[in-house]
Structure 1
Amino acid sequence: MVKLMTYAGPAVADAPGTRTGGVPQTPSAFEWPRCRECAGPMQFLAQVSLADVERGSSGLLSIFMCQNDPGLCDEWDAGAGGNRAFAFGADALHVPTPPGDGVTLLDEACAVRFEQVGAEDYLEAPGQWHQQSGRPVREVLGQVGGRAAWLQNDETPRCDGCAQPMAFVVQLEEGHDHRTSANFGGGGYGYGFQCRACGTAAFLWQR
């Protein structure tokens, strides 16, 4: 089974829970991440409620990526400094004000509905969901839990703290509308991970 994220219409920018776009919910001491390459503020892409991934979990996985000069900041790489992922706890209730410079937000906040599809893996699931629902494949926004469906080699990151492979959390599509989508190189996938033991997180994308 694959647990799909599907487009459920526009969301309020600071809506709680899993969504793409909008503004992040964070702890009060949060500082907006800046790109290690260009020093510009990163763009907030999505937040995922960890309770949607595994029953009994709490907190949020929050994902950011530099879009100030796309392609020049190695924003696809989990360790190059062109993106950041955070594993926030239950204290992620603050809504920060984005910096006034740079590209910080997507042009749409999207609500998410979860739908189970009996596919072998994620690469098969959107087409199967389309056949069952009659809705456009582009309205699939990704998946949570299960196994990552890699477009290239398996690039599961290792935690900087314990050096163990991180747990897969979410696979993101670019979005349902090209005018408001994230940029994963044009048709790529984003991948979010966490280390439960160390409270760290990582993100990368492939095309």
Structure 2
Amino acid sequence: MATYAPLWALVPGGKGVPLAKVGGEPEPAGSLRWPMCRMCGTPMRFLFQLPHVPEKVDLSPYAAVYVFQCENPDTVCYRSMPDEGANAAMPVAPGEPKVEGERPKCIPYNAWSLGFAPTEEDTAALSVDVNEATSEQLQALDRAQEEAPESKVGGVPVWLNGDAMLQCCGEPARFVAQVSAMPFGLDFGDNGRGYLFRCQRQPEHFKFLSQGA
């Protein structure tokens, strides 16, 4: 079975990976300013954070990346879209840990620690162009999607609503991770997933989008 390396499943409740978590309050590895939604101007809700882990998650020169989205109940901000300003993926350089800025009024998501477990996926099947695929390739895609880890770092994104690979600076952005709504209770539509990407030309730029099931 073909795989892209590194590829690690994100295990809810796992241990041994400091700064890997979903929900609760962000645990800063440096100076983090809480982001505001560009569409409605309110503080976003914290979703998850991933640390730089050599040979697993390459975020260098950053210590961690923090992901937020707008969940203002009084607006309809396009939080699932990567460029509308209603979500944010913020890398933080190593330094004095601190969080500054206004917090949202909503209750934080329940906190979960994350562990990393080695896994595999059929990346050839997951990468097929559905517009040109044979019936056998589509069947292999269905099997690969069922077998692939729902939350992971590395590999290729497992889309719920069609290929949405991001471009940044005229090139395909590098896929970093995906996080499933469940079991964490994250609001990505109907049991959806969130996808984190990084620009290849400007590595300080991270982008996030989500899809509902």
- Equivalent position of 1:203 in the other structure: 208
* Runs of at least 5 residues in structure 1 that lack an aligned partner in the other structure: 130-139
- Asked if 1:171 is matched to 2:174, the reply is no
Q: Which amino acid aligns with 2:68?
A: F
Query: Counterparts of 1:113 and 1:126 in 2: how far apart (Å)?
Result: 22
Q: Sequence identity of aligned pairs in percent? A: 26
Question: TM-score, normalised on structure 1?
Answer: 0.75
Q: Which has the larger radius of gyration?
A: 2
Q: 1:171 to 1:186 in 2, by over 3 A?
A: same
- 1:48 pairs with 2:82: no
* 1:63-98 deviation line (CA, Å, top 9, x unaligned): 00011128810100001111011122333x523166
**How far off its partner does 1:46 sit?**
0.6
Over aligned residues, Cα RMSD in angstroms? Answer: 3.1
Mean Cα displacement is larger for which, 195-204 or 112-121? Answer: 112-121
Query: Contact 1:66/1:75 (CA < 8 Å) preserved in 2?
Result: yes
Structure 2 residue aligned with 1:149, among 155, 158, 183? 158
Match of 2:98 among 95, 108, 112: 95
Provide the C-alpha distance between the structure 2 equivalents of 1:56 and 1:36, rounded to a whole number of angstroms.
27
Give the match for residue 133 of structure 1: none
SS of residue in 1 equivalent to 2:13: strand
Count of residue pairs brought into register by the alignment: 186
Q: Cα gap change, 1:203/1:127 in structure 2, threshold over 3 Å: closer, same or farther? A: same
61, 72, 83: which one aligns with 2:65 = 61
Gaps of 5+ in 2: 127-141
CA contact (8 A) 1:98 1:104 kept: no
Distance 1:109 1:186, change over 3 A: same
Partner letter of residue 201 of structure 1?
F
- C-alpha distance 202-94 of structure 1, shift in aligned 2 (>3 A): same
Q: How far off is 1:26 after superposition?
A: 5.3
